[in-house]
Structure 1
Amino acid sequence: MTNKLIHSEYKEPPEGAVSGIIFSINGPIVKTEGNSGFLMHEMVYVGNEKLIGEVIGLTSQASIIEVYEETGGIKPGELVTGSGSPVSVTLAPGILNNIFDGIERPLSEIAKKDNAYISRGVNVESLDTKKLWDTHITVKKGDRLYHGSVIAHVQETPAILHKVMIPPDKEGTVSEVVNDGKYTINDTLVKIILNDGSTENLSMTQHWPIRIPRPVLKRFPASVPLITGQRILDTLFPLAKGGTAAVPGGFGTGKTMTQHQIAKWSDADIIIYIGCGERGNEMTQVLEEFSELTDPKTGNPLMDRTSLIANTSNMPVAAREASLYSGLTLAEYYRDMGYDVAIMADSTSRWAEALREISGRLEEMPAEEGFPAYLASRLSSFYERAGMVQNLNGTEGSVSIIGAVSPQGGDFSEPVTQNTKRFVRCFWGLDKNLAYARHFPAIQWLTSYSEYLNELAPWYTEMVDKKFVDYRNQLVYLLGREASLMEIVKLIGADVLPDDQKLVLEISKVIRIGFLQQNAFHKDDTCVPMSKQFKMMDIILYLYQKAKSLIHMGMPMSILKEDGIWDKVISIKYDIPNDKPDMFDEYKKDVDRFYESVIEKNA
């Protein structure tokens, strides 16, 4: 594969480019006869309309090409022309506050040409090549530049400073630089002399193959959580920065809305939202909501640190398969600048279905439920690109991947969910019964888990409170006991339970409704800081210990339930603003008054 990289908009093929003649068309799969001289994973232009495709198979008799656009109307005998380069994305200022299709074509520019629908062979630049960016050069003549060195700063949005870097495969000595000023993404900013003595012009633009991970210097173990503001995630099942999580659930259980909440409120610097095979109205909702939201960290529009990739269910299925890799490459690019990036992939099941359809067109031997035998390896290659790393330029950044899974009928035993569980360390299983009961987030605490808890415990101890992990474990224990007791209740009723077990049911109700359930439309409850989450656990467990003492004194649970303290503790999430933690002291006094009043009444 040549070093020259070409991105997804059409360019005139290089002189002497190889070509082949189409002899077979099967949906998105096109074959050319004979040995055309193409390279594996090379980007090609298919037919008279120059549709974008990728070489996915080579034999001495034929080249197999996956076309990322609708192939209707193509006929045998038309030419396929090679580009000499792999399918790549353009990396430069202008990615944020933008929405692309699966192969990084901006939908706003396509809409100007083709209105509401993408026509075949549409030719648009991935990024605006005419816009002038206010550029500050950070190097001078004679400086030695290494892989990933920063050569300029551009204020891409009010929230994000774009760090223009030398490509990872280049290094040399600066021979010329321009002055600070306004430049386009293709203007030469710096000239360097490479190690072999040749000269290279550096602009703001890089191109990178979507299927090849960008190189890093070192990977770090998980040590810092991705704070989402969602109590059940941050407290019970935390995700580390640079970690991987799956959000499986049936239709209507809230996968997309859970990802929306994380995208809106997490402490990641940049969000890459990939709508892979989802309904068009859902992506429209994302666009409308994100454009109206204010970033709580900066006060700027949330879109200033967000990029959307939309490959909806009515778009070509082959481009759906490429969209995840396009989003990953954009995320790795900003990670290389030292940012923490979170990817929302919605949903990996639709991506797996695209793999299945293409595999069927290729007449490959199907595995379980018709999915290809390489489903597991493809999923692993996707999730393994997450991580907290030290970049080539010495900065530290992370890519966290949160992938939604849409098992048919909510069956978690199907292949995509089971294989995903092998490669993620955080599993947030959504439950339809919780969703239908209007309990959101509908994450089932009995089936969900996080393997990051032990690694993140030192952070919680130092940054929140030394009792945090112990309190969290107590909540999980009580919820587990409730589940066991409910099996007995279903058989013989709650009245026969001893009072200490009735107390477990009552305090678990407080935990479920007052702590785990969260209201996305309430100004304080939609996103909760870690300090308040801890204090909420503290007051719930304080109430439990006081009530437990009363039970041991012989007080019946029926008397304890007569007091309104239980509902008052449940309402803490609404009644105590996030910025007034001192109000919790008054609630502790209310619990003490409850304790004393029960003793007085029954003395």
Structure 2
Amino acid sequence: MTITGEVVRIAGAVVSAKNLAGARMYDVVRVGDKQLVGEIVVLEGDVATIQVYEETEGIAPGEPVTTTGMPLSAELGPGLLGTTYDGIQRPLEILLAEGGDFIVRGVHAPGLRRECGWDFTPAVRPGDRVVGGDTLGAVVETEVHEHRVMVPPTLQGTIAEIAPEGRYTVDDVVATLKGDGRTQTVRMRQYWPVRQPRPVLRRLEAADPLISGQRVIDTFFPLVKGGTAALPGPFGAGKTVVQHQLAKYVNADIIVYVGCGERGNEMADVLRQFPALVDPTTGKSLMDRTVLIGNTSNMPVAAREASVYTGITIAEYYRDMGYDVALMADSTSRWAEAMREISGRLEEMPGEQGYPAYLASRLADFYERAGRMAVLGSSGRTGSVTVIGSVSPPGGDFSEPVTQNTLRVVRVLWALDADLAHERHFPSINWLTSYSAYAGAVQGWWTAHAAPRWEEYRTEMMGVLQAESELLETVQLVGEDVLPEEDRLVLVQARLIRDGFLIQSAFHPVDTYCPAEKQYLMLDLLARFYRHGQRAVAAGVSAAAVGGLAVKSRIERMPFVPDERFAGEHAVIAQEMDEAFAGLTAGKAAYGVTPRG
């Protein structure tokens, strides 16, 4: 049932309307003669306060406001992959065709193309009993993704009719269910309120790493499929580049990238690069597994607030099919700023730094929708949603509310450092302030994938970097000359770890992505070098002599060795290292070369 009222007050993106008795909270409404999209956020009697997702310039008191009777919902079905949307799921390609380079106010476009046909293959027969989440049939959405047409979570019953194999649009009825004394039709499209998490059977423990190809992340601060991570950093530290690298290379089945309030040129880079890039897992175009949601800084602020909910709802939909989904939100700070602006216009009591008092709960609710889940249905499917949110603290101040409230709920912190960025050390993830609570969970995966000493090597190299930090404080006070040779070796080894492992070029054709197998072999060479060095120093060799070995340069260049050649190169470098240290310590009986397996 629709209800029509009229505008009585306009304050930026917030509009008040009267004569809306019977309307419900979070109902979508059409505002003014231009039919702008809005959402009811406050109800007092017959007066509704509406958050409008488009510019309200020119709207005047007395213009009509009409309810739709539905909350803000995502349209879900075949055709999502490869599409770019705005914050309220309007396809930008269609908006471009209808209105040009700038979005015309009041333009409406469905999230899924109505004219596109999909080849449907049924998976059930008449008489079968189905519940929410069961698969009715499948269509081939891309060359590598089967789109499972599922029973909506709120329905169950017996199959009365099922469409035969053939080509259908998302509006066509593909199944009819009978149950609870009524008959329900099911189409290939369905709707789900974006602010409401899709239901699951239960939450499962996550243990498989989300491999990104970025060494500092996969080896030192790993993330699991179904985990949560925060990527805070000041302007210029490389947040967006890291997010782009993750979107390009993580071993998830589906990527949902939300450009929330970021600069338009950054989203333009994504639109230019992604179609030309090849998914390293499938060999197909990266856009075949990607949904882009672009709500840039020059778009209406209210739609920015909705964009992350649209993205997470699409991610949950593919999770329910049994896929592993990774969602990148860049950045949650701009989302929080949108909440702050809307909250101010609603005249709500401000919290710290003007953010609304519910900032912490909104952030927690968002990240809580991540996880590895046993999804609805009788098939026993599992799926996951991994959420990676970048944070843009003003001036790089990690004590500000958005960063602090985010760190309370995420389990991985990749803290970007402006000083590292100024030194051209990228990714500029600070290894002293970052952390991961998933390191123990992924150890079993590394062991099963021929990396039995992964945790041992990782702990040892992290210890070297920590020791370097402490020694550098002493060096700044009294100089390096007073340090014993063992401590000087720590400095040599730490520089080797930084230069030969942590630094990674996003623009080098080989180094941009480092497979897990190569990461482990590189870690093995670093550990081998350090243990050789320790024995050499104990035998009386100087740390400077260890640092001057030619094999050290070979180790520093190993990131640029092509992946397919690296196993052979690893054996060559290891043999050269053994011989170099044997020659360095020739005649010193205290030193013995023990080849490592």
TM interval, short-chain normalised = over 0.9
Identity %: 49
Question: For 1:365-404, what aligned pairs fall within 5 Å after superposition?
Answer: 365-393=349-377, 394-404=380-390
Corresponding residue number in structure 2 for 1:267 = 251
Distance 2:517 2:437 in 1: 23
- Whether contact under 8 Å (1:529, 1:578) holds in the other structure is no
Q: TM-score, normalized by length of structure 1?
A: 0.95
Distance 2:265 2:549 in 1: 47
Once the two structures are TM-superposed, the CA of residue 61 in structure 1 deviates from its matched residue by 5.8
Corresponding residue number in structure 2 for 1:106 = 91
Q: Which moved more, 1:457-466 or 1:227-236?
A: 457-466
Distance 1:530 1:19 in 2: 59
Corresponding residue number in structure 2 for 1:7 = none
- Of 135, 151, 156, which residue of structure 2 is paired with 1:171? 156
Distance 2:254 2:555 in 1: 36
- Whether contact under 8 Å (2:499, 2:556) holds in the other structure is yes
Question: 2:470 aligned with 1:484, yes or no?
Answer: yes
Corresponding residue number in structure 1 for 2:593 = none
Deviations 1:35-93 (A, max 9, x none): 52210111111111111111111112621110111111111111211111111011011
Corresponding residue number in structure 1 for 2:49 = 64
- Of 402, 408, 412, which residue of structure 2 is paired with 1:422? 408
Question: 2:521 aligned with 1:535, yes or no?
Answer: yes
- Of 416, 424, 438, which residue of structure 2 is paired with 1:452? 438
- The amino acid of 1:345's aligned partner reads A
- Whether contact under 8 Å (1:136, 1:181) holds in the other structure is yes
Corresponding residue number in structure 2 for 1:311 = 295
- The amino acid of 1:411's aligned partner reads D
Once the two structures are TM-superposed, the CA of residue 492 in structure 1 deviates from its matched residue by 1.9
Once the two structures are TM-superposed, the CA of residue 579 in structure 1 deviates from its matched residue by 5.1
Corresponding residue number in structure 1 for 2:557 = 571
Distance 2:4 2:163 in 1: 40
Question: For 1:106-145, what aligned pairs fall within 5 Å after superposition?
Answer: 106-145=91-130
- Of 255, 260, 266, which residue of structure 2 is paired with 1:276? 260
Once the two structures are TM-superposed, the CA of residue 486 in structure 1 deviates from its matched residue by 0.7
Question: 2:135 aligned with 1:153, yes or no?
Answer: no
Structure 1 stretches of 4+ with a deviation exceeding 6 A read: none
- Whether contact under 8 Å (2:518, 2:563) holds in the other structure is no
Tell me the matched-pair count. 587
- DSSP-derived class of the 1:90 partner: strand
Question: 2:284 aligned with 1:297, yes or no?
Answer: no
Distance 2:10 2:561 in 1: 63
Distance 1:482 1:580 in 2: 29
Q: Which moved more, 1:502-511 or 1:518-527?
A: 518-527
Distance 1:275 1:458 in 2: 34
Structure 1 unaligned residues grouped into runs of 5+: 1-13
C-alpha RMSD of the superposition: 1.3
- DSSP-derived class of the 1:444 partner: coil
Distance 2:180 2:455 in 1: 56
Once the two structures are TM-superposed, the CA of residue 190 in structure 1 deviates from its matched residue by 1.2
Distance 1:531 1:176 in 2: 50
Q: Which moved more, 1:505-514 or 1:592-601?
A: 592-601
- Of 531, 534, 539, which residue of structure 2 is paired with 1:548? 534
Distance 1:294 1:213 in 2: 32
- Whether contact under 8 Å (1:137, 1:180) holds in the other structure is yes
Structure 2 unaligned residues grouped into runs of 5+: 590-597
- Whether contact under 8 Å (1:19, 1:37) holds in the other structure is no
Corresponding residue number in structure 2 for 1:598 = 584
Distance 1:36 1:251 in 2: 47
Deviations 1:94-122 (A, max 9, x none): 10000000000000000011010001110
Distance 2:201 2:519 in 1: 36
Question: For 1:280-359, what aligned pairs fall within 5 Å after superposition?
Answer: 280-359=264-343
Deviations 1:456-482 (A, max 9, x none): 222222234221111111111000000
Distance 2:224 2:563 in 1: 27
Q: TM-score, normalized by length of structure 2?
A: 0.96
- DSSP-derived class of the 2:514 partner: coil
- DSSP-derived class of the 1:179 partner: coil
Distance 1:71 1:575 in 2: 56
Distance 2:350 2:253 in 1: 41
- Whether contact under 8 Å (1:90, 1:206) holds in the other structure is yes
- The amino acid of 1:382's aligned partner reads F
Q: Which moved more, 1:355-364 or 1:520-529?
A: 520-529
- Give the 3 Å change call, closer, same or farther, for CA 163–61 of structure 1 in structure 2: closer
- Of 186, 191, 201, which residue of structure 1 is paired with 2:171? 186
- The amino acid of 1:271's aligned partner reads I
- Whether contact under 8 Å (1:33, 1:61) holds in the other structure is yes
Deviations 1:165-193 (A, max 9, x none): 11000011111122211111111111111
Distance 2:545 2:84 in 1: 59
Distance 2:270 2:301 in 1: 21
Q: Which moved more, 1:527-536 or 1:345-354?
A: 527-536
Corresponding residue number in structure 2 for 1:409 = 395
- The amino acid of 2:362's aligned partner reads R
Once the two structures are TM-superposed, the CA of residue 377 in structure 1 deviates from its matched residue by 0.4
Distance 2:9 2:29 in 1: 16
Distance 2:78 2:446 in 1: 36
Distance 2:191 2:543 in 1: 67
